[in-house]
């Protein structure tokens, strides 16, 4: 649910930024966006995990791909440009860390 709120917050913030001739996606930065943008997305989505915006889909004007990581899980969001819909993958980090230890 948090990752979906992040996606919606990014889309909302991008609409606001568009009016100010500003882009949400800032390639070359640590999280793919400016620090104030990251803080605003966390505030709007009510999340506190790590968010990394990998790319922005300028054609459909929404996030192309991002990661959201907490202590418990990693959510991977990617927009499928062929089907025109988002895809989600959620991984429990404990299961990944413990994989193959048995």
pLDDT for the residue 41 = 96
13 pLDDT above the threshold of 90: yes
- 52 band by pLDDT with thresholds 50, 70 and 90: very high
Assigned token pair, 99:
């994989």
Reading phi first (left if > 0) and then psi (alpha if -120 to 50, else beta), residue 46 is in left
State percent of the chain over pLDDT 90.
79
How far apart are the C-alpha atoms of 91 and 24, rounded to whole Å?
26
Q: Give, to the nearest 10 degrees, the angle between helix 2-19 and helix 35-45.
A: 130
Rg (CA), the chain: 14
More confident residue, 13 or 92: 13
Q: Please state the domain count of the chain.
A: 1
Q: What is the pLDDT of residues 59-74, one digit of tens each?
A: 999 999 999 999 889 9
Q: What is the pLDDT of residue 19?
A: 87
Enclosing domain of residue 28: 2-98
């Amino acid at each position: 649910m948090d990752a979906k709120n992040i996606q919606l917050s990014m889309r909302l913030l991008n609409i606001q930024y568009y009016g100010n001739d500003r882009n949400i996606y800032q390639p070359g930065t640590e999280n793919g966006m400016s620090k104030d943008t990251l803080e605003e997305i966390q505030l709007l989505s009510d999340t506190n995990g790590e968010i990394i915006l990998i790319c922005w889909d300028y054609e459909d004007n929404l996030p192309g791909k991002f990661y959201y990581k907490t202590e418990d899980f990693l959510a991977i969001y990617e927009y499928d440009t062929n089907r025109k819909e988002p895809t989600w993958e959620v991984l429990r980090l404990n299961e990944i860390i413990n994989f193959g230890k048995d």
